[in-house]
Structure 1
């Protein structure tokens, strides 16, 4: 508790006008993403500030990610109200034959190129409707989607501390009314980092990291109360996390060594881009001969993607490991073994699997004057967050999105 108080007062001291009244009462939405925060962490660990935040607001049993349950497709789904096959960021990495380029989250020049991104992200919609938007990290927010960027944004840098990010939010709220953002996005990677490294069942490591994150969120929540502004906070995550034992990593190099195709691997899903479409049946038949615990599917069967708007990016064939298994290149397998020996663990945490598995379900919590208090709701799909935020801010809801306002509208006052 002492640490929590000190964090709050540090914020107040850094921004002394935080305690003064502000003139505007137009609604503000702060959308916070806690990457990799599994649906059951709050119940398991009872973090003080998040628990209080939920008690006074709205909490979903869980939020179902879109397929695949990876970081970039799901953040951008939350931002656009579109499923990955409709907004184009179909995985953390994928090949685009038209561009003859591979999208990968570590390639800044590609991540910041707005031509990769479909749909209309919330910050673009806000700016198009004469509303100021700001982002302290969120997938797509540093790309000029439709030629538009948020009025204030930062290029992603994971070394920036959480408190620096929170201080950035306070700075934006201190701006004069005409310059102050009505939409702010904020991103923290803590639970994804610790979940990958130790797995989602390592209570000691998870609890320690969550306690620190919760103190920092507490500083944000308390600081926001000091503004005389209509601030609504929505806390989400992109996906949960699943334990993968050491002997459940599958050698994708061996599996695909004789396949005439480009293969882009994301662990829970490998995209196969054939050199010749005539080879499809033969390649599927060959892959199915493997005794690995995998599922091979023709993308045209629409088993995982219901609409093939970005079919070329998805590939021709999908290789999907069974639950609790993960695909890895041979070079990666060696590195994984070294990491397991160094960390003295026999399992890691992974995601990307089908949303049918609750392990990969995410969170949705909301608190503020727009929301009812003490309300628990059932699991829903993450595409529905977008129209909810549009409604609060008075933004027009695009007709072509997958999200539906009627799903979450009942949580509003």
Structure 2
């Protein structure tokens, strides 16, 4: 009994004695808001995103890689490589070696890991015995290097945002051994509305963003209930530009009679010549057009700075001027026939040069790893990859385009 009272007196006399708590391993949740232009938050002041940004880090904008399309830029964010280095050189392109045309709606090709170069974050994590999970992100449903995330879902745009968010909560409730430390999420709302109504239709965009912001608010609030070291990064792949119906250019007429396979993504068309020695003559022919377009020999490296994947890029690029877009005649006919039924007089498009600020995306970050109330200048999206590697303690692969020193100053 005397020993008990002695120990009690010792405890009471030294109440400040505490044992160090176990350090929690960092978790990164990477969220993509497809088509979320750099200026939407400033214009519409969404409550939850604004609060998230104020307490964390916000970039003036994030510059996409060329072309400013969905698949190339999501996969650039995931790999730290420019499109000409990771192989997804556009949303659609032809590969002569495979004799196949890759397209974002071709499920069997999207899930084929042989199309994808580089080492995406979830592959790097799994290779280093770290659990990764993805509720949609470009490349996450493919067997890249024979690896997929421990948890993933083939893309299905019909799945509600709240279903995706609920799944994240379920993942975080798993045991420490099973719990993902890298999670990716994808929402297409702003891209869908931006394409249909254009990026200057405040009424439609505001309504979409209000709903999305409420859903993000539910995610942010729910994450607070977990006693975990969770860091959230919100990005987008590209911005959006208004295109009037009369600014769509007839690609069928422009390329009639040219001996080439042509793959069009709107903001650029790839020409794969039947005979490459015809290149000079074809360029001369195309330049005779009075359409607002620019003709580029890929050897000039004007847009793709490296020709590592030249066979996928093609021989010649047709690039419309700003505020113009390429379309096949069948598409134009269908669009013109349906204009009276649509409640809009313009559309939104992207894919243009990253030099146009309209194409710029977003970067916001919040969590224990990040400084608070920090605003940074515009940077290229290739630099997100090494930042996430640093937070998670993953080795950065050699020869990526991104550099850690660009975003290292935002870390505590």
TM-aligned CA deviation for residue 23 of structure 1 = 8.2
TM-aligned CA deviation for residue 343 of structure 1 = 1.6
Does the residue aligned with 1:243 lie in a helix, a strand or coil? strand
Residue 82 of structure 1 pairs with residue 78 of structure 2: no
TM-aligned CA deviation for residue 347 of structure 1 = 1.1
Residue 384 of structure 1 pairs with residue 397 of structure 2: no
Give the match for residue 295 of structure 2: 296
TM-aligned CA deviation for residue 335 of structure 1 = 2.1
Give the match for residue 8 of structure 1: none
Give the match for residue 66 of structure 2: 67
Does the residue aligned with 2:326 lie in a helix, a strand or coil? strand
- Count of aligned pairs between the two proteins: 392
Give the match for residue 34 of structure 2: 35
Deviations 1:259-315 (A, max 9, x none): 000000000000000000110000000000000000000000000011110000000
Distance 2:150 2:392 in 1: 17
Distance 1:24 1:130 in 2: 19
Give the match for residue 106 of structure 1: 105
Within 5 Å, give how 1:44-193 maps onto structure 2. Answer: 44-193=43-192
TM-aligned CA deviation for residue 372 of structure 1 = 0.1
Distance 1:125 1:376 in 2: 29
Within 5 Å, give how 1:232-311 maps onto structure 2. Answer: 232-311=231-310
TM-aligned CA deviation for residue 341 of structure 1 = 2.1
TM-aligned CA deviation for residue 336 of structure 1 = 2.0
Runs of 4+ in 1 over 3 A off after TM superposition: none
Unmatched segments (≥5 aa) in structure 1: 1-21
Distance 1:339 1:172 in 2: 44
**What TM-score, normalized by structure 1, do the two folds share?**
0.94
Does the residue aligned with 1:42 lie in a helix, a strand or coil? helix
**What TM-score, normalized by structure 2, do the two folds share?**
0.94
Instruction: Say whether the 8 Å CA contact 1:24–1:229 is kept in structure 2.
Output: no
RMSD between aligned alpha carbons? 1.0
Does the residue aligned with 2:344 lie in a helix, a strand or coil? coil
Instruction: Say whether the 8 Å CA contact 1:65–1:381 is kept in structure 2.
Output: yes
TM-aligned CA deviation for residue 61 of structure 1 = 0.2
Deviations 1:110-168 (A, max 9, x none): 00000000000000000000000000000000000000000000000000000000001
TM-aligned CA deviation for residue 24 of structure 1 = 7.2
Give the match for residue 15 of structure 2: none
Distance 2:211 2:365 in 1: 21
TM-aligned CA deviation for residue 337 of structure 1 = 2.0
| Structure with the greater alpha carbon radius of gyration | 2
Distance 2:228 2:270 in 1: 47
TM-aligned CA deviation for residue 334 of structure 1 = 1.6
Does the residue aligned with 1:297 lie in a helix, a strand or coil? strand
